[in-house]
Each structure stands twice: as structure tokens, then as C-alpha cells.
Chains A and B, each alone.
Chain A
Amino acid sequence: MFKNITLGQYFPGNSAIHRLDPRTKILLMILYIVVVFMVKQLSLFLLCAVFVLGVTLLSEIPLSYLLKSLRPLKWLIVFMFFLNVFLTPGERVLFEYWKVKITLEGLRQAAFISLRLIMLVSGTSLMTLTTTPIALTDGLERLLSPFKRVNFPAHELAMMMTIALRFIPTLMEEADKIMKAQLARGADFETGGIIKRAKGMIPILVPLFISAFRRADELAMAMESRCYHGGEGRTRMRVLKFMPQDALAALTVAFLGILIVIMQAFVF
């Protein structure tokens, strides 16, 4: 039951995109988000779409897999679309019946908001699909390390994220197992009012918490017995290094941004 949730959803591969430095990918993702928010013209989303498709092709991820990452958001997108269709004030009426009025402006605004959301999610998904969670936290730690001077706990933060990511699947598996065990004892999680259902969760939550604490304890012990004492003086097995491809990727996204700014200023 918990198995169907894919978190961190890394898609294994060794494409050009997979091999980019995680720091590059994090920074370029932020830049891409800024670019998407700069778009004010519906037609310019076409450029973003071309960019996303290009990256998808390069990353060798099947398009259907990328679309799957949009699935959890489909209701949000549908909801936002209709909200904007009906609530945007406008002059050019296309359709009117009783109090319901659909205008060209409304339709345009709805398409705009939905497309922006789709572009944002698909673009950022590409990053999590092509980067292992470990590389991601590693990159994040390195990006944040300048702030260590002002006592920002960059290493600790990254370590916590790594551990959390590592244990999410384990805990899901465990929750699944405990749930099955209690179901086999005739537990009922599905019927009854809200209070009965909340109470029904106790036989799952108690063992789950106990096991989580036990695991945390064991992990702490294992780390300590291997002399872990924070990030100080720690060397790395895989050292991150910027490569020419990273510069190329940066140029591509920058080009996309400049193109959009120019077209917005001069063409429209």
C-alpha cells in the first residue's frame, strides 16, 4: 500500500545529464525557475517546452516517465485551470449561460497558469530524476559550505537529509509490514468515523515509532563506533569537480533566459 509512492524517484542512467555536477544542476534548476516566472507571454512557454524536451532526450528518460511525475498534480492543475477560467474578469465573452461566463481573457489566464505549473514541475523533476539523493545532498552541502563561516550547519544539514532519505523507503516497507501483520489480526483501518480511524492507527504507529527509535539508536552507535564526529577534516571518496559540460549546461540555460527576455522586450 505504501509501496506505490516513489519518493526521490531517481531514474538510473549514465547520460550526459546524469553526469553533470549536482551543484550545476541545483543552481541551474533555480535559474530555470526564475526564467519560467519571467515568462509573460503564452507562446514563450513553447521555448521552455523545447528546452524540457531537449533535456529529457539527452537524459534518456522516457517521456512517459517524466509525465508520471505530473500525475500527483493533475487535480491541482485542473482545479487551477477552472478557477481561472471562471473567475478572471474579461471583456471578450465567448460563452455565457446564466451566471457562468467564459471570456477569452479567462481562458488565456487559465492556460497560462496551468502551463507555468507544468513547466515548473517537469523541469524540476528532471533534476531529481537524473540525480541520486546522495549526490543531491552532497551538492547542497558544498553549495552551502561558504555559510559555515557564520556558523551555518551545512554538513549536519546534509547528513540529516541523507539519513532521512536513506530511511524513507525502509520505514515505508516497515509500515507496510506492520499494517499487514495487524490486518491479519483483524485490525480495521477503513471503516468507522474519524475518531475510530485515528484509534485504528495506534497498532501501526506504536510499533513504527519504536522501530524508528531503535534504528536511530543503532545507527548512532554504528556511526560513533566508526569515529564519526561531524564534518570537520572529513575527506571524500567522490570529489565534486566542475567540468566543461557544466559550463555548457549553464550557457544553455542562460541562453534560454536571455532569449525569453529579448523576445518579450522586442517581439511582443
Chain B
Amino acid sequence: MPIVVSSLNYTYMPGSTQEYKALTDISLTVRDGEFLGIIGHTGSGKSTFVQHLNGLIQPTSGTVSVDGFQMADKKQRIKGRALVGMVFQYPEYQLFEETVEKDIAFGPRNRGLSDKEISERVRESMELVGLQHETFREKSPFELSGGEKRRAALAGIIAMRPKYLVLDEPMAGLDPKGRKDILNTIRLLKKRTKCGIIMVSHSMDDIASEADRIAVFNGGRLERIGTPGEVFADSEALLKMGLDIPQVSRLALELRQRGVEVPEGLFKLEDMKDFLLRRLRRV
């Protein structure tokens, strides 16, 4: 069963002088096991939107349901929330325990799992994020490096075994190696658990290569949603919104401007390579 969002509106601080309409009439469905990429300008409402998915904020109007659980209802929300893992921007700021192991166990413990089950999950999720269990489990989370902290925080969410994992700019502020580690973890997780992934990111290349579908936010509205091929086909519209496009799309755009006929929907490096080679041979 999917996550269904329909006609969602959200206003920050309604009725005050700082009233701000952050989201307008958003409807979309996150299918089972799909990788949904969310892109959009800073301030376009991406973070506000994803927080609705596990009921941390309630829509001003409209509804959100997770696998049929209505998130507006207090009892159903608890069940729905258990299905959706949420990795906030800069999740390392949520670390608080004395050891990495205890911190990762916080979520599963709140679910009331047995000690045996908990330690199994801790071990498994540490391995998934690439933190060696023996080396890191007794360490204080505050003595880790930036990238390690991020991975420890991520492990804390993975250990809850969510059916959908929401990641809000999970690679922001990391070095290239750190970014790669996180991306690999997400790939591995998706392959192993078949969970749905909803990822907000500014890296168009990552989104283009990983996502099944992409949602484009602009000024609090859902501008478009579709496969990467569909969304990146109209690269110029994205550029007009002040967004980046994948490097391959940029190349295609430049080639087209110079009179080379590049087929639509070319955004993957491999496809572009094939196309160029074929084209060069022909000339």
C-alpha cells in the first residue's frame, strides 16, 4: 500500500503577522518500494512537505495517509509513523547517548523490542552504514568525524526498519567521500530491504541515476512529477526555476544548441556515452 497525499496545503503561523503559505495544493502518491526524488529551490517547501509524511506536522487542509492509516487521527498516526523513517537535514544533531550503540538502539527500544532483537538490529544497521560494529559501538557519538556522525544517525533510523525512508538532503555539507558513503548505504538498503525511499537532494546527478520518479517543487507547489526521463527532458524549464540539471542533460542541451540532434530523455552517463560513440563513428 502506498503513501497518499491529497490536496495538501500548509501555512506556517496562521493568523499572525508572519503567516506564510509554504505549500499549496500538493497531491501525490509514493508507491511501494519506489525511489522518489524531490528537487526544488531552497525555500520551495521540500522540508515542510516531507515532514507531513510521518505526521510530524499536520496539514492546514488536505490529507495524508500511510498504508491506509490516516495521519490526522492520533491513534492511526502512531501506526503510520512506525512505517516511515525520517532522516532530517543534519541528523547528527539528534545524537545524544553515551555510546554509538546506545544511540542507535534508542529508536528500537522505544518500540519496545527485546534486547536480543535490538542488539541484532544495531549490528545490522551499523554494518549497512559502514561503521564497524566492534570499533565503533563503545565510542561516544561526539568523538566521531562529521561523516561518521551522519552515518551513525542514519543507522539509528535504519534500525527501526521503516517501510519508507525519508531523507532530507542527507548529503548536505559532506565531502565527496562522505557523500558517496551515504549514497552507497541508501543503495544497499534499498536492494536489501526493498523499502521505499523519498530523498530530497540538490545533487541532480544522484537523483537522475537513482530515482524512479522525481517530484519538482517550486514556490510551494508541485510543479511536475514523472520519471527522470520526463522531468529532465524539459531541462530549460528546470533551469528557469533556478535549478541545476544533471551534467549529461547539460551536455545534451549544449549539443542541441550547436545543432546536434540529441534524442530526448538522455540523462544517464552510459546512455550519453553510447550515443556519442555511435554518432562519432557515423561522422
Contacts and interface: CB of A to CB of B under 8 A. Distances in A.
B94 interface: yes
A187 B110 contact: yes
A186 B107 contact: yes
B88 interface: yes
B54 interface: yes
Interface stretch (A14-22, A140-148, A176-184): A176-184
B88 A180 contact: yes
A156 interface: no
Nearest to A209: B96
A207 interface: yes
A181 B168 CA distance: 12
A185 interface: yes
B142 interface: yes
A211 interface: yes
Interface in A152-204: 174, 177-178, 180-188, 202-203
29 contacts: A3-B12, A3-B13, A4-B13, A12-B17, A65-B17, A174-B93, A178-B94, A180-B51, A180-B88, A181-B88, A181-B94, A183-B56, A184-B81, A184-B85, A184-B86, A184-B88, A184-B157, A185-B157, A186-B82, A186-B111, A187-B110, A188-B110, A202-B96, A203-B94, A206-B96, A207-B94, A207-B95, A210-B142, A211-B93
A198 to B, nearest CB: 15
A179 to B, nearest CB: 9
Interface residue tally on A, bucketed by range? 20 to 34
B94 A185 contact: yes
B56 A185 contact: no
Contact of B110 (A6, A185, A207, A211): A185
Interface of A: 3-4, 6, 11-12, 65, 174, 177-178, 180-188, 202-203, 206-207, 210-211
Contacts of A178: 93-94
A166 B96 CA distance: 25
B106 A203 contact: yes
Interface in B106-138: 106-107, 110-111
B160 interface: yes
Contacts of A187: 106, 110
